[in-house]
Chain A
Amino acid sequence: MTSNASAPAGPGRYKWIGKPVPRKEDAALLSGRAQFIDDIEPVANLKHAAILRSPHAHARILKIDASRARALPGVTGIVSGAEVAEITRPIPSVVKTAIAYYPIAVDKVRFVGEPVAVVVAEDRYIAEDALDLIEVAYEPLAAAVDPLRAMEEGAPLLHDELGSNVAHRRSFEYGEPDAAFDGAEHLFALDYRFPKYASTPIETFGVTAHYLPSPDRFTVWSNFQGPFVLHPLMARALGVPGNRLRLITPPASGGSFGIKQAVFTYITLLAAVSRILRQPVKWTEDRLEHLMASSSAADRVGRVEAAFKSGGELVGLRFNNICNMGAYVRAPEPASVYRMQATSNGCYGVRNIAIENILVVTNQMPTGLNRGFGGPQFFFALERMMDLAAKGLGIDPADLRRRNFIAKDSFPYLCPGGSLLDSGDYTKALDECLRLAGYPELKAKREQARKAGRLFGIGFAVGLEPSGSNMGYVSLAQTAEERALAEPKSGANSSATISMDPTGSVTVQLCSTPNGQGHATVAAQIVAERLGIEPDQVDVVTEIDTQTSAWSIASGNYANRFAAQVSGAVSMCADKVADKLKLIALEILECDVRDILLADGAAQIAGVPEKSIAVRKLAAAAHWNPVAMPERSEPGIHETVVFSPPTLTSVDDRDRVSSAVTYGSVFDLVALEIEPATGRVSVDKYVSLHDVGTMLNPLIVNGQIHGGFAHGFGCAMLEEIAYDANGNLLSGTFADYLCPTAADIPALTIGHLNAPSPMSELGCKGLGDGSSMLTPAAMANAVADALDMKEVELPLNLHRVWQMVQGQKPVPASALAPTEKKADAVVAPGPGVLSGEGETVIAADRETVWRTLLDPDELAAVIPGCEKLTEQGPDRYAASVTIGIAGIKGGYEVAIELKDKVAPESLRIVGRADGALGHGSAEGWVTLAPAGDGRTALSYRYNARVGGKVAAVGQRMLGAATRILINQFFNGLNRRLGGAGQRSGGGGPIGRLIAVLAALFGGGSR
């Protein structure tokens, strides 16, 4: 491949391809006219579903009593997991294990948010009301949350039938890694953790399922993004042949980044519900449901080792990948860990690589596609290692990479794992990146900053962007023997259909289910180019309807598939249409077919533009006058191309496979400074240089790079799906799961050095994921450089960086020891536990306060939202409390026990609460002391642990809600005791505890 990587699609060659054409999608989207899934009600008499979800990380379902819910007016049906399991089959994954995955819990719940029952009602509000009326008896079980702890002997088992939480383990060797390590002069190793995060599209999941009997037939509208390899799995689960599961996507989809692959679980669930209830059912996911139970990237605990020769030559790599799959290995996982395997040399010429992949199940949300899919984790390991080794070897990190790059004249390059790299000039690209960044100046700046005692760092990350996935690569999860027993899998079918109606207008149908990437615009550019018409004359249908579209298993929007593959199918299909138009024109123009060109809306003889015939006339002839059609031509104009790149063969017997068709590359450099007092990271310079091959539309290319960068930056700095050690979700709102805003994203300099790909029809390479894969590693490298630290944990939020500045090693909350559940619900302080203390002065003497606090009637009057408080026995109370905060109302049953009572001085209170919005336990200590003038000083402290929905809404919201309730209680108490007290902390014992417990449950999502 030529080193000067300018695209042949220059301004001179093409009229439309390669031009920054603004998008045809925009007008509808900007005017509020675009149709998203929640905007359509495609069936009459549609009912609305809400899903009851597990508040427990791990529990047995003992009993579900839906009788009260069923009786609620407007409820039209309720379906439990057991009922769904009766009429469906589990959905398999490529990893053959004893795990049975259903889209709803059957006898056990395995993560907070797992569906337990589905309510269907006349509207969504009623359906959600009914959720509160379903009573589920759970037997809570100890949870396995941290992947390393889950692997330990004696860890709680998620799937008893599996006998372990390790679902899969495979080792691979490419080349001779042991020999390479033995013969190397320098060895480096790095242990790391990569966090669990998710791309969180702003539009959530939406599904409308419609079942019709005799024979069973499902029609499901959803914002599913593919891959449609999941279609046969869904059909199988629902027990129908593929042609009786009709999937339809709407015209617009509000982002996905891979996540909407997981819509397939709800397609299956709602289809089953529709069948059981014989009602068409619509469901729209809410944000809390999305953050707790949709899908996420697989977090990883890993170790990477590297062997270098003395000159800095990288001769060996070892990867140990412990991948947290969440509660199930859910298709298409474990693809995330196998996606990068064939390319695990990165941009480097290293030939000896050892890999061990371990899949662990834990009590967390299952994983799936997410922007970069496996790339961010992989490049974090490899590129952290390169910066680390550069430091150890005393070689500039840019130079170390240069010394190891695959040479520009080696393409196509066969990687040890089997990937066939298409083109590139990595050295030149890196040099261009350094030039754009002003690398020498940045190094001088770092020098100066360090002299002044400031924390300034520079980080690199370079990598490949495998695009257009081989449907066969996931078979790496199977042994050669297992693969021999299965049908071989390879390729990546892409299709496009183009028709021209009798007036000459063009309709293109795509199989790429875009979620905002502008496929319609680019397809119109390509077709306009090929047919010599204007893009405005080309209508592009991006909706898939499996009953009418030319789809195949690879259809969908993932792995940068559009540019790498679909654009080629569109171009080839347009060529077929062009050929036909030329053939028809031939009869009229009477010339050699090779002399005909399509331009300006007409077929012309090259060089004789006055001899031409309008394209619309050719189209009319094809429809109106088939008798006169040239030989071998079918009447009408309707062409479909289905195409699969020939390089995408099956996994061979040595576990090698070319996992993708094009391999763009990304070269990132970041310089940043850390404020030691706060841990704040300020980016000084960020340059990202890309090789995307031929650019089809530079406006869209750079938009994708900006977007991918924002995802990578969010992962690096802010985003984390957090669990406590007991499996309670701590990040259920956008106030807790922090996405970067416009104020957080630093300026990005984008550069291009584009080497056209010989593997794709138009020379373009897939793009969009690249920066999401590299930015986390680059940011971590720069922070490591600034702090001169080896191990750096993401996300690099204020707290973590501050800890690192202090020389501490941050540990994620999920990796801490789980708290033991004792019978009397004593809660030990620690992460995830709400603790507090305070003092208040009450205008009554100690005995009066004591009596009031122990009198159920008195208390019921002052506790906010208390409907009933009854004495259950000596020092045992039960209360029904309804608390509404900001329009969010929930009812709770609170059980209280008083212990260690020393009248009228002190007592300890132990309580438990259960409600539709969550569960929890708390322990409080209260002391009363005389405060003079007949007043009493009441002091208290408490620890509370909450689970379910309420834990997910985060401490900041709970704290505010709690304060409001404390004030209410305090005012009520003082009114009751007839005096004005002075508050210095606020609260009282039982009521205080009830208020705290209730507050913890008050903050649901709706």
Chain B
Amino acid sequence: MRRIGGNERHRIELTVNGRSHAGEAEPRMLLSDFLRHRLGLYGTHVGCEHGVCGACTVIVDGRAVRSCTQYAIQAEGATIETVEGLADGERLNALQQAFHEHHGLQCGFCSAGILMSAVHFLKENPRPSEAAVRDMLSGHICRCTGYDGIVRAILDAAGTLKDQTKETIGE
């Protein structure tokens, strides 16, 4: 293992959303800060910096991780997926489209992390139950939606949304 001094900047090369990127970071620089402020990928958001709110979740080498509790230097050589890579050009992917249709976001600040967790989750659980979706989402905090639209969106994207109308839009 190579040792790097505390104040020494290290060149980090990695692949983000299929493109190779390089940037310099001190060993203590968080991956979230590196993605945002070194690579300009501002779509990943920082909400708590202690790994609870989940807003900063990205996929690193196939695993959903909190980019705020990882150092950039740990991601050397990694393949990372972020929210910027989800859409196909201007076209939202099926999950994003479901969030749009089910009003699964309001301020949208937590959405990037939730989307990335959901992408990873749906890969492992292609036909999830509502309870499983809610369990997965317990690693995220959304203060706007009350989660209703988010849960529906994920179930819909997975094709497991039952038409259980919980609401009566009256009169």
Contact = CB atoms under 8 A, between A and B. Distances in A.
Interface in B41-75: 41-50, 52-53, 55, 69, 71
A257 interface: yes
**Which residue, B43, B168, B170, has most C-beta atoms of chain A within 10 A?**
B170
Given A29-B111, A38-B46, A516-B106, A752 B143 contact: no
A254 B45 contact: yes
A125 B171 contact: no
Contact of A706 (B134, B139, B146): B146
Contacts of B2: none
B108 A34 contact: yes
B135 to A, nearest CB: 6
Contacts of B39: none
Nearest to B17: A32
A909 to B, nearest CB: 31
Contact of B50 (A30, A751, A1005): A1005
Interface stretch (A617-625, A740-748, A811-819): A740-748
The 7 A-B residue pairs with the shortest CB-CB distance in the complex, in nearest-first order: A32-B43, A516-B107, A29-B108, A254-B109, A752-B170, A706-B146, A710-B146
Interface of B: 26, 28-29, 36, 41-50, 52-53, 55, 69, 71, 82-84, 86-87, 92, 96, 99-101, 103, 105-112, 115, 133-135, 137-151, 166-171
A252 B108 contact: yes
B163 to A, nearest CB: 15
A702 interface: yes
B77 to A, nearest CB: 21
A1005 B30 CA distance: 13
B71 A887 contact: yes
B171 A286 contact: no
B150 A742 contact: yes
A201 B92 CA distance: 26
Contact of B43 (A31, A200, A745): A31
B20 to A, nearest CB: 19
Interface string A246-278: 000000111101000000000000000000000
A612 to B, nearest CB: 32
Contacts of B105: 26, 29-30, 516
B94 to A, nearest CB: 12
A31 B140 CA distance: 18
Contacts of A695: 169
17 contacts: A29-B105, A29-B108, A30-B83, A30-B86, A30-B92, A30-B100, A32-B43, A32-B84, A39-B36, A515-B107, A516-B106, A707-B145, A734-B141, A741-B137, A743-B137, A753-B170, A754-B170
B42 A32 contact: yes
Given A27-B92, A703-B103, A741-B137, A750 B109 contact: no
A527 to B, nearest CB: 21
Interface of A: 4-7, 22-23, 25-27, 29-36, 38-39, 125, 199-204, 252-255, 257, 286-287, 432, 436, 515-518, 695, 698-700, 702-703, 706-711, 733-735, 739, 741-745, 747-754, 886-887, 1005-1006
A710 B147 contact: yes
A32 B112 contact: yes
A125 B26 contact: yes
A747 B44 contact: no
A667 B117 CA distance: 36
Contact of A750 (B42, B84, B137, B167): B167
A38 B26 CA distance: 21
Contact of A734 (B44, B52, B135): B52
Given A29-B105, A30-B111, A733-B50, 19 more contacts: A30-B100, A30-B105, A32-B41, A32-B82, A38-B36, A39-B42, A125-B26, A202-B55, A255-B107, A287-B53, A516-B105, A516-B107, A710-B145, A734-B52, A742-B138, A744-B138, A745-B148, A754-B170, A887-B69
Contacts of A201: 107, 109, 143
B167 A31 contact: no
Given A26-B108, A710-B147, A202 B53 contact: yes
A753 B171 contact: yes
A22 B168 contact: no
B121 to A, nearest CB: 12
A741 B36 CA distance: 26
Contact of A287 (B49, B109, B148, B168): B49
Contacts of A700: 103
Q: Which of A200, A204, A741, A1006 gathers the greatest number of chain B CB atoms within 10 Å? A: A741
A955 B144 CA distance: 29
A733 B106 contact: no
Contacts of B146: 706-710, 745, 748
Nearest to A741: B138
B48 A747 contact: no
Contact of B52 (A5, A22, A203, A735): A735
A742 B134 contact: yes
A697 to B, nearest CB: 9
Nearest to A732: B50
